[in-house]
Amino acid sequence: MGEEQVQQPARGAAAQKPGKKSFGVGFFLVLIIALAVALSGLYYQEEIHSMILLKPWDKSGPRGAVDTWAAALKSNDPAAIQAASARELNISVEGDEVTGISQGAMLQPNPPEALIPAGPAADVEVKFDLRKDKRQAEMMMPAADGGTLIYYAVPVEGTWKILAWSRSRPKSAPTD
């Protein structure tokens, strides 16, 4: 009474292929991955834009800006100094000689020789700030007068220029 018969496929019968359900799963996975990549790009768009703009893998641009700036200061040419800057400077000239350079009307002018680096910028470490409100390169190097200079450079129409600087005065020799 309880004999059940199990039907076996004939030996010559071809095995049936499973239906094409994997296309829907694969398409769904590709769609999810594409959406994740797109959302990541939107989230990091400012950093990506900064990387494209500043090209932090190429440090020759900011270093070249410092070398151009130093050459302009050494030439004592107000037009060359202004051309090496990313913004309008207040340049004091007496006769044919540049006597002071200031980053703003209310700031104390610096003598040009105080802004000249001790050597070329070829080996200077370049730090890039990728934040939207900054987007600049920073380089710290010794000044020719013994102090320390920090230059901030930005790309202006494809050419790196000096945006700003700060300097510390040389340490004086201890007095007896």
pLDDT digits (tens, 9 = 90+) for 58-93: 888 899 999 999 999 999 999 999 999 999 998 888
Residue 7 domain-assigned? no
Q: Is the pLDDT of residue 32 over 80?
A: yes
Side-chain half-sphere of 149: how many Cα atoms within 13 Å? 27
Residue 174 domain-assigned? no
Under the banding of pLDDT at 50, 70 and 90, the label for residue 2 is low
Residue 14 domain-assigned? no
Bridge pairing between strands 90-94 and 97-102: antiparallel
pTM (predicted TM-score): 0.70
Q: Of the spans 4-8, 132-136, 151-155, which averages the highest pLDDT?
A: 151-155
Domain that holds residue 37: 22-52
* Share of residues in the chain with pLDDT > 70 (%): 84
Residue 163 domain-assigned? yes
Q: Is residue 71 located within the same domain as residue 112? A: yes
